[in-house]
Amino acid sequence: MKEKSVYIPVLEFLQRQLQGTLDETMTTHMNYPTAISRLLGISIVDVGEATATLALDADPALHGNQQGTVHGGLLCELADAAIGTAHSTLMKKDESFTTIDIKTSFVRPVWRSRLLATAQAEHRGKTISHYRCEISRDDGKVVAITTSTVLTLTGEKARGR
């Protein structure tokens, strides 16, 4: 007989996942790991309330552009994933969210490197929140800075999102 699922908040779910204390009965209302993160090899390194650090092993052989460096779109996706993870830690069971805008400024190129994207809320509103994410190479140098505005959806508007 299968054990009954136990709902836990997103932040607790992700923290337990990182600590290795998540069991098969524990569930939350968001999907982790996300399909895009599995496809690209993005992993959560650290998570807290309205903060998240994600990692990606970037390689121009897999993620390159025509110049031979890592494609900027990948950096934008990594930042979006970090921001989304940070914001998801605030979501209640009947809430979801969507990105309103996202802007990435590219500071320097990336070749082969482990990238860390660290996102945190700069302003947490009831419906509109603002985030900043810095992506750094394994030498510690910042390669991109992303800002994003996120809209929290509640009730009927959150269903199916």
d(CA 136, CA 107): 10
Give the pLDDT score at 156.
76
CB atoms inside a 10 Å sphere around CB 48: 13
Residue 16, Ramachandran bin (φ over 0: left; ψ between -120 and 50: alpha; else beta): alpha
Question: What pLDDT is recorded for position 158?
Answer: 73
pLDDT (tens place) for every residue of the chain, 161 residues total: 567 899 999 999 999 999 999 999 999 999 999 999 999 999 999 999 999 999 999 999 999 999 999 999 999 999 999 999 999 999 999 999 999 999 999 999 999 999 999 999 999 999 999 999 999 999 999 999 999 999 999 987 777 66
Give the position of tokens 């993005």.
42
Give me the domains of the chain, ranges plus CATH numbers.
6-158 (3.10.129.10)
State both tokens at 116: 């860390």
pLDDT at 45: 98
The span from the CA of 106 to the CA of 70, in Å, is 11
